[in-house]
Structure 1
Amino acid sequence: MPDIFVTEEKKEIPSHPIPPKVDRELESEKAGAWGRKLHSLTTVAFKPARLRFEDQDVDEQIILFTRPHLITNLKWFLLAVLMALVPPFTFIFLNFGFIPINFRFVGLLIWYLLTFAFVFERFLVWFFNVEIVTNKRILDVNIPNILFRDITQTPLGKIQDITAETAGFMRSILAFGDVRVQTAGTVPEIKFEAVPSPNKISQILNDLWREI
């Protein structure tokens, strides 16, 4: 008769090392705190959902999307605020009574239109300066102004070195910096400028590079 009170011996489940690819996925998922949804103020996203670019291959997956840290907009934002405050303070401290009110209104309207144009142009330059990393290549979209666009790309296989740089008090406090990618292609370097968490981005790039 079997003894029902005998505890069965527990079998040890052998532990297997995590495959490098799975390990990379687990490490990279730490970047999931960045989020996968894109909105107008997104500065970094890991495997962003519903994002495609013009010549993306069918089997090409976007791994990383970045643009400069929001704090990089501070200079032009403060300048825009100063521009917006110029007319009120000017009318307070200077007498423009000799100028017809219609002319004053037109001048004020032109000034604020120029201010709006400045803000709009600066925002577009920040918004469209992005880097996209896929499982095949790196794309760097650089727009110094709204009239010029420069797109640089390099296959992951041509990467030679990846360096993350965080220099300065502000960058250290807010954890943003540059990531430099040295390549063997026609463009010797691709620079992720002033991006959040440069060390994490560098780690993900290194992981992708090792798999090539």
Structure 2
Amino acid sequence: MPTIYRAPVKKAKSNMKPLSYFAVNPDGVRFETQEAREEVVLFLRQHPIVNVTWIVIAVIMFFAPTILFPFVLSFLPVAGSLPAGYMIVGTVFWYVATFGFILGNFLYWFFNIYIVTNERVVDIDFLYLLYKRFSQAELSKIQDISYASGGILAAVFDYGNVIIETAGEAPNLEFGKVPHPEKVVETIRSLTGLGTK
């Protein structure tokens, strides 16, 4: 008997969480220049392990007023003559600076995103709190895609840099320290029709 009706096959969607750093066919991801027929295939951020350095520094900064400052002040001749108000104001300023350091680094990680759609690749970089750089390359203009992964942490946690070379005036793009770089390269190659190397 001939098939009269066949239900459309839906692609498997991944549930996006606010801190997701690798999502295939994510639900609800949109960006400002996305066209109506354009679908997001990959959503990427840097691997979370790259945040360890600034998190360790933030922990040291957090405990510095209670452990490090009294130790350093004990060796200074003016330590006993400092009014308590100066110590309190200095400590408050220190914690405000620590909070600013944490917030700045988190926002840099959170808002630097890489998106692969069925029509192009997009690199959105927030370099400062108020400065954004938007780079894109159409899939038809991509000439070569490669990845580089080096070091113990990159090997253990499977992250690396994806380099996308484009033709003409389109800028070359680099997705820095993204998780599963080999899968990212394979996905972009399958979308562009470049095949596997």
CA–CA separation in structure 2 for the residues paired with 1:98 and 1:186: 65
The corresponding residue for 2:163 is 180
Q: Secondary structure at the match of 1:181?
A: strand
Structure 2 residue ranges without an equivalent (≥5): 1-8
CA–CA separation in structure 1 for the residues paired with 2:170 and 2:70: 52
Deviation at 1:92, TM superposition (A): 4.3
- The answer on whether the counterparts of 2:144 and 2:165 sit within 8 Å (CA) in structure 1 is yes
- The answer on whether the counterparts of 2:22 and 2:44 sit within 8 Å (CA) in structure 1 is yes
User: Could you tell me which amino acid in structure 1 is paired with residue 70 of structure 2?
Assistant: F
- The answer on whether the counterparts of 1:40 and 1:127 sit within 8 Å (CA) in structure 2 is no
- The yes-or-no answer on 1:56 pairing with 2:39 is no
CA–CA separation in structure 2 for the residues paired with 1:93 and 1:207: 59
Q: Secondary structure at the match of 1:138?
A: strand
- The answer on whether the counterparts of 1:129 and 1:142 sit within 8 Å (CA) in structure 2 is yes
Q: Secondary structure at the match of 1:48?
A: coil
Deviation at 1:185, TM superposition (A): 4.0
CA–CA separation in structure 2 for the residues paired with 1:50 and 1:146: 24
The corresponding residue for 2:43 is 65
CA–CA separation in structure 2 for the residues paired with 1:151 and 1:93: 46
Deviation at 1:93, TM superposition (A): 5.0
- The answer on whether the counterparts of 2:149 and 2:159 sit within 8 Å (CA) in structure 1 is yes
1:51-130 counterparts in 2 under 5 A? Answer: 51-89=29-67, 90-92=69-71, 94-95=73-74, 96-130=79-113
- The answer on whether the counterparts of 2:137 and 2:171 sit within 8 Å (CA) in structure 1 is no
Q: Secondary structure at the match of 1:49?
A: coil
> Structure 1 stretch 145-154 or stretch 123-132: which is displaced more?
145-154
The corresponding residue for 1:45 is 23
Identity among equivalent positions (%) equals 35
CA–CA separation in structure 1 for the residues paired with 2:33 and 2:170: 19
Aligned CA-pair RMSD = 2.0
> Structure 1 stretch 62-71 or stretch 85-94: which is displaced more?
85-94
CA–CA separation in structure 2 for the residues paired with 1:117 and 1:126: 14
- The answer on whether the counterparts of 1:125 and 1:144 sit within 8 Å (CA) in structure 2 is yes
Deviation at 1:200, TM superposition (A): 0.5
CA–CA separation in structure 1 for the residues paired with 2:131 and 2:183: 30
TM-score (norm 2): 0.85
The corresponding residue for 2:5 is none
CA–CA separation in structure 2 for the residues paired with 1:176 and 1:43: 11
1:148-200: CA deviations, max 9, x gaps?
Answer: 21100111000000002111111011111011110014244111110000000
- Find the structure with the greater CA-based Rg: 1
- The yes-or-no answer on 1:197 pairing with 2:180 is yes
TM-score (norm 1): 0.79
CA–CA separation in structure 2 for the residues paired with 1:61 and 1:74: 33
